[in-house]
A and B are shown apart, each in its own frame.
Chain A
């Protein structure tokens, strides 16, 4: 802080920051701007930065004329179920990894770290067969049930946080006659509130954006979440190959606003969670 910057350096820094910021939010601006146009307005050449007249009707049409609200409901089911599932199961699994000495701890932890890297596509075929055998295809169950069996990435986040809570607290609770489960629920969980929020935020954004699994498990329109629902697209009536880009962009706007609000509200927790994966301890 003691080094004084010449004015021109500051100006240059702001100019760079503003340029990059405009570049980075351009796609967001462009989605929004196009969502308020008429279809001819989108294909107008040369392109205009702002719409000629504001077509808020596009949003009405998307909300009324399509399954958007049903897709939204399905996405919310996936988010809530998976978040509840992973909060319970992942924190549960992380507890002994962080705070108990038992045989095979390092091996189990190494295995969990290793499974963080396994791409979903490599295990999808046998999973598909399992869920087909159970008769769960074309339902949301194949995307909900695994959430209750601890997601490795979240186990890792919980474990890292639990490590930071002083061990003496466990001992004190044990003195008071708490068993392991009580130590966890009474002692650790309340202290670990920040990491529960972080995992909630990350899990919500993850399931809001998830594309691959619903593509495989859900065919019916009324069961699709927003991602695969939006992919079906808005076609010009009578010409199925023409996309109604203005409606597509209105749909996209509706899809990008919630995660951005979540980021605005909980940026501290989101940033903490992401950093925790990259840094020492």
Chain B
């Protein structure tokens, strides 16, 4: 049995702001619930995919997990350690365990640093490496991500999108992390480059025994890349299952709609798609969301009883298949 590497307990991230209205004595409190009561666990050596539309809080969850932003409530466990509120030296040590690869390879690299400096900076800070040793390590990392060594003194603008993303991966790998949070690593790339980056990530995982949290909105990538899937909507987790299970038996109506909207190329792929479901409207605003089911406003199969169910929890319907639909849990 794989042991659990990372676990979140009722993780919340609210962005609170106050708005003063004319002649009001008290400010109006606006809470954007970007991540709301998320429970998930990541096993050692697996690839966990987080899917959802834009605005569903995927990136915020990823950033909370890697402690780039501080969660509002809840707990994050890394191994046996509670990392929710660690600061200073402890946090610096945690950075060696969890690293992140960002979405836009163009803007996540400093345009004034050359590739060598970009990859070397984390090692200078954490390992106190300098001089020849550092350069050797940079070269080793570059060959690991299949970047030509000639690029070592180039600047990011001279690189293609795929090469920039490889630099981002090399930088993340430089501290030998255990967990890598990949925030839409291929959404800015062309399909032919995307396939190469995904293969690289997979081979690196096999070689180094990494664990990935992959944030994406592309279900075809999820199907080919990940072991388990978490479906998010409006800051909440609606469904969680292993990839094969989710694609063969999607339970939540939102997952079904998401699957049916995936554009496919070949005729054989159509049998993986449930019947045509078209969602009306768009993802509602995450400001002061109700405590009922998050998907209620766009759900096609809702019943009147759905409106009375508050504080829904993820329920294990089958072994390993969790869902939050009030229907199914009845």
Partners in one complex: no
Report which A residues bind B (CB closer than 8 A). none
